[in-house]
């Protein structure tokens, strides 16, 4: 088992990949990818059970990236976990590349569901959890959603289904970075009282700092031990986390790639080095 320090180092590596691959593509969604980097790190390098050499292993845990526009962070994790070569990350969004702007389960190993049209991931995760119950499998299912995505009606229909069938093998995680493409989530369509909504739908609700490895591990461990109902972890995050100019201007970097100069600045901040050392 990796230590918190080792996981923190992996999260930095994923963030660097996000910056480099979106810059190389001159396209992509860095802000919401960076906010989810710690969550994805703890999932892929601590929590999830899988075999990169056998992506279809029947007993693997399932992960659904419902916020499919945050594809760069998932691609980075899959590469670092051994599903495909790290060098392939630089082909993001190129013609003919499997690394599409939104994830495609038919083009890349390790992806459980094609996503990009928001609001659909939790429904698919329900199906995977129900299938596991019918097949008498003990795998777990995880679904990562954006907070803006939780304005979608299908999320709440799916949430009712999860609770109705007592899908305790299911853990939903909300990347609560408080921004969506058009502005602040609270101004576009306020989710508050967010925790109470999930509780009223029959879920076990946990909250944590989405950038603290120990807090994320603890929340995921508690979710795995919860019986009789699904668990949602509301992870408090910062859009563009780790890159100061993205954190300060989250709307500008929802769907805009960094320039070459911004790439250098971002990598300096992430790796705590001086610019002339790059």
Question: pLDDT tens digits for the chain (278 residues)?
Answer: 999 999 999 999 999 999 999 999 999 999 999 999 999 999 999 999 999 999 999 999 999 999 999 999 999 999 999 999 999 999 999 999 999 999 999 999 999 999 999 999 999 999 999 999 999 999 999 999 999 999 999 999 999 999 999 999 999 999 999 999 999 999 999 999 999 999 999 999 999 999 999 999 999 999 999 999 999 999 999 999 999 999 999 999 999 999 999 999 999 999 988 764 54
Cβ atoms within 10 A of the Cβ of 183, count? 13
* CATH number of 113's domain: 3.40.50.970
End-to-end CA distance of the chain: 32
Q: Which residues of 186-212 are buried (b: 16+ CB within 10 A; e: fewer)?
A: eeeeebeebeebbeebebbbbbbebbb
Q: Give pLDDT, residue 275.
A: 63
Is the pTM higher than 0.85? The answer reads: yes
126, 161 Cβ separation under 8 angstroms: yes
Domains in the chain, number = 1
Q: Are 208 and 174 in contact (CB under 8 A)?
A: no
Q: 35 near 263, Cβ under 8 Å?
A: no
Q: In terms of residue numbers, what domain contains 211?
A: 4-277
Q: Is the separation of the CB atoms in 211 and 241 below 8 Å?
A: yes
pLDDT at 245: 97
């Amino acid at each position: 088992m990796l230590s918190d320090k080792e996981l923190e180092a992996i999260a930095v590596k994923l963030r660097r990949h996000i910056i480099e691959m979106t810059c190389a593509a001159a396209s992509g969604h860095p802000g919401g990818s960076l906010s989810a980097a710690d969550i994805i790190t703890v999932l892929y390098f601590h929590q999830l059970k899988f075999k990169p050499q056998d992506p279809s292993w029947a007993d693997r845990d399932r992960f659904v990236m419902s916020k499919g526009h945050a594809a760069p962070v998932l691609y980075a994790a899959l590469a670092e976990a051994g599903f495909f070569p790290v060098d392939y990350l630089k082909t993001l969004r190129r013609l003919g590349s499997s690394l599409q702007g939104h994830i495609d389960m038919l083009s890349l190993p390790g992806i459980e569901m094609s996503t990009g049209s928001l609001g659909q991931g939790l429904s698919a995760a329900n199906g995977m959890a129900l299938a596991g119950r019918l097949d008498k499998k003990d795998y777990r299912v995880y679904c990562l959603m954006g907070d803006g995505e939780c304005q979608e009606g299908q999320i709440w229909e799916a949430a009712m289904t999860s609770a109705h069938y007592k899908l305790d093998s299911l853990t939903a995680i909300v990347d609560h970075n408080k921004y969506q493409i058009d502005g602040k989530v609270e101004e576009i369509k306020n989710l508050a009282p967010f925790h109470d909504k999930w509780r009223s739908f029959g879920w076990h609700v946990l909250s944590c700092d989405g950038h603290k490895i120990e807090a994320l591990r603890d929340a995921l461990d508690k979710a795995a031990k919860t019986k009789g109902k699904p668990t949602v972890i509301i992870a408090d995050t910062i859009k563009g986390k780790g890159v100061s100019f993205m954190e300060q201007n989250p709307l500008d970097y929802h769907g805009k790639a960094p320039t070459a100069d911004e790439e250098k600045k971002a990598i300096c901040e992430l790796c705590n080095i001086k610019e002339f050392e790059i």
